[in-house]
Amino acid sequence: MTQDEFSLIRQWTSRSSGQHGDGLSVGIGDDAAVFSLSPGMEVVACCDAMVETVHFLRETMNPSDIGYKAVMSNISDVAAMGGLPRFALISVAVSPGWSADDCQQIYEGIYDACEAYGVRVIGGDTVSSPAALTLSVTLLGEVEKGRALRRSAARPGQLVFVTGQVGGSAAGLDLLLRSAKKGEAVAEEWRPLAWFHQRPQAQVAAGRILAASPWAGALNDVSDGLASELSEIAEASGVRLVIDERSIPVANITRAYAIETDQDPLGWALYGGEDYQLVGTLEAAEVKEAELRFAEKGIPFTVIGRVEAGEPSVWMDREQGRMKIAKAGYNHFGGAEAGKG
Amino acid sequence: MTQDEFSLIRQWTSRSSGQHGDGLSVGIGDDAAVFSLSPGMEVVACCDAMVETVHFLRETMNPSDIGYKAVMSNISDVAAMGGLPRFALISVAVSPGWSADDCQQIYEGIYDACEAYGVRVIGGDTVSSPAALTLSVTLLGEVEKGRALRRSAARPGQLVFVTGQVGGSAAGLDLLLRSAKKGEAVAEEWRPLAWFHQRPQAQVAAGRILAASPWAGALNDVSDGLASELSEIAEASGVRLVIDERSIPVANITRAYAIETDQDPLGWALYGGEDYQLVGTLEAAEVKEAELRFAEKGIPFTVIGRVEAGEPSVWMDREQGRMKIAKAGYNHFGGAEAGKG
């Protein structure tokens, strides 16, 4: 990039987001940003990097989608702690294949995601790179002291739940890859699937309900697929999780697209990821209270299983019997492993 | 990188740093880290990226130096706000040219820098990249509420000071490039210069003295050379800075190397950068007090000029007269621009 292009970037990054009165004492333009926490809160901090060809392809993501999703995956991590996202620091390493206009769109996507969640960009770095656009986002949020929701808090007797619907992002990726291969635009009827993949929404409101409740257990966000997220909870908590295949919430359009393309929507739900829903556990006696709290906020909430004492592992009850769910790898999922329980 | 190599990285990143009782509630291993601030403190947050071939060369930096310096440049930004560095989040995008052993050394450098300053690594991401190793570091620190030192606080009548000595890092880079070109090891007598370049030390203790004092003005760290840092203070504060060439502290070894190689050590001081010293302003009436406070901590402290009312700009008094200092660009520095004042 030229110096002129860097000046343009400075202009785009002057777009403001976040709320006034959010405790920011020093914003962009000094050596570092400075902000205050609200009384009684702790800092929640996470960092994720996205690399061209490794985490995204230009064929399936517009530049603005790339910026949006790099931020959203981090907001989702804050949501998975029960936190409120507040500030972002963003480094972008731009390689020669990306024009100034592409970069502007990346920043527009970054600010779209931040504005939608009241997050203010308070720092970062835009640098050149010889190859492969790389975005690294740090998200800072806050949570009431001692209330952060951890993966290790699942206890036998609790129920397993998930918010929203899962598998849609993986279906959308499949759709986008097929369309790109044919050199065609995505068919109108399947557009929502592309949206699930390109513009997922982190479940901050759900996380906040859970952080405020006395009945919440473990929590994780669905970034790598239900199988991986549930395994992390099982391992961190030292428990066995048993889920019911029929209760996993998959959208009708995702099921219809699976039928149309002769694929298994359950595979997308378990191993697809990037749905950015929340999956966790809660006290069984309080499930009606939980349903009410989520209904009040219009957040779909589904009980999909239960927590049992036992070797850390994840199992799924199906019509054919109980099967063990491998942590990752779509090819591990099939008849051969079914019926072990 | 293979899955095995990623497992190794998880092992290296389990090395702990930072202090016990530092307020960390949730560390590495969940969706995000969670920590508390000490009472009365604000968060200081900054983020810098370093890209292979753009910000560093394998010829002049060992893998451990690369990790060390990526962290140190961010600790220096926290120091330049008067803050105490506490936590780091580190993303590393590893390209095929870097072996597992190289990566281990990069992490060792990262932890060396963190341990030296009591910083704890609380998160990050290690990913593959098709080309060009990229490190992105976010450093989080804290500072007493309302005490962060800004670039905009220089006022006419104050003095301009710098800690330590400057120009040594640029001299070291010159030495390392010449040695690499000849395919030779760095000569024993010049080894300290290589050290200045590869293992600079951020001036956290100096920043803390200033944050605690009622006489501190503006502050910046010397990452891009004195000319650039002073220009930023002049512009942010709306003042003219006038420095005295003879008072700029340059180490004897840097001067000796300049004579040996027929170069200008002043150019390194003004336009070299990466010395990570602090440059700032303070109340003239309190300069004796300042000298005492820095002497007590064994920190070299030099008054190099003064703040005047006037168009934001930086000037330097030399034997030949007063000259205006361009913000950046070594080639702007020479006889042609001298004597404008």
pLDDT in tens, A131-160: 889 999 999 999 999 999 999 999 999 999
Interchain contact B198–A (C-beta under 8 A) = no
User: Chain B residues with CB inside 8 Å of A129's CB?
Assistant: 51, 54, 132, 134
User: Chain A residues with CB inside 8 Å of B89's CB?
Assistant: 45-47, 138
Interchain contact B135–A (C-beta under 8 A) = no
Interchain contact A224–B (C-beta under 8 A) = no
Q: Is A7 annotated in some ligand binding site?
A: no
B151-337: in CATH 3.40.50.920: no
Q: What pLDDT does residue B175 have?
A: 97
**Euclidean distance between CA atoms A57 and A67, whole angstroms:** 13
Interchain contact B54–A (C-beta under 8 A) = yes
User: Chain B residues with CB inside 8 Å of A224's CB?
Assistant: none
Interchain contact B153–A (C-beta under 8 A) = no
Q: Do A52 and B130 touch (CB under 8 A)?
A: yes
Q: What is the pLDDT of residues A246-278, one digit of tens each?
A: 999 999 999 999 999 999 999 999 999 999 999
Q: What pLDDT does residue B17 have?
A: 59
User: Chain A residues with CB inside 8 Å of B94's CB?
Assistant: none
User: Chain A residues with CB inside 8 Å of B30's CB?
Assistant: 81, 150-152, 236
Give the lowest-confidence range in A12-26, A316-330, B20-34, B277-291.
A12-26
Closest residue of chain A to B23, computed from CA coordinates: A42
Interchain contact A80–B (C-beta under 8 A) = yes
Give the lowest-confidence range in B116-130, B153-167, B193-207, B276-290.
B116-130
Q: What is the pLDDT of residues B230-252, one digit of tens each?
A: 999 999 999 999 999 999 999 99
Question: Shortest Cα distance from A55 to chain B (angstroms)?
Answer: 9
Q: What is the pLDDT of residues B306-319, one digit of tens each?
A: 999 999 999 999 99
* Every domain of chain B and the residues it spans: 3-144, 151-337
Q: How far is CA A30 from CA A100, B51, B117, B131, in A?
A: 25, 22, 22, 31
Closest residue of chain B to A73, computed from CA coordinates: B31
Question: Shortest Cα distance from B190 to chain A (angstroms)?
Answer: 32
Q: Do B89 and A47 touch (CB under 8 A)?
A: yes
Q: Is A125 annotated in some ligand binding site?
A: yes
Closest residue of chain B to A76, computed from CA coordinates: B31
Q: What secondary structure letter does DSSP report for B82?
A: T
Arch. (CATH architecture) of B3-144: 2-Layer Sandwich (3.30)
Fold matches, A3-144 and A151-337: no
Q: Do A32 and B151 touch (CB under 8 A)?
A: no
Interchain contact A40–B (C-beta under 8 A) = no
CA-based end-to-end distance of chain B? 58
**Euclidean distance between CA atoms B65 and B178, whole angstroms:** 18
User: Chain A residues with CB inside 8 Å of B278's CB?
Assistant: none
User: Chain B residues with CB inside 8 Å of A139's CB?
Assistant: 32
Q: Please state, for a pLDDT cut of 70, what percent of chain A lies above it.
A: 90
**Euclidean distance between CA atoms A85 and A64, whole angstroms:** 20
Pick from B80, B90, B93: which is nearest to A134 by CB? B93
ipTM of the complex: 0.87
**Euclidean distance between CA atoms A240 and A155, whole angstroms:** 9
**Euclidean distance between CA atoms B197 and B199, whole angstroms:** 6
Pick from B33, B36, B152: which is nearest to A45 by CB? B33
Q: What pLDDT does residue B114 have?
A: 97
Question: Shortest Cα distance from B223 to chain A (angstroms)?
Answer: 10
Q: Do A54 and B89 touch (CB under 8 A)?
A: no
Question: How many inter-chain contacts (A to B, CB under 8 Å) are there?
Answer: 211
**pLDDT band at residue A2 using 50, 70 and 90 as cut-offs:** low
Q: Do B34 and A44 touch (CB under 8 A)?
A: yes
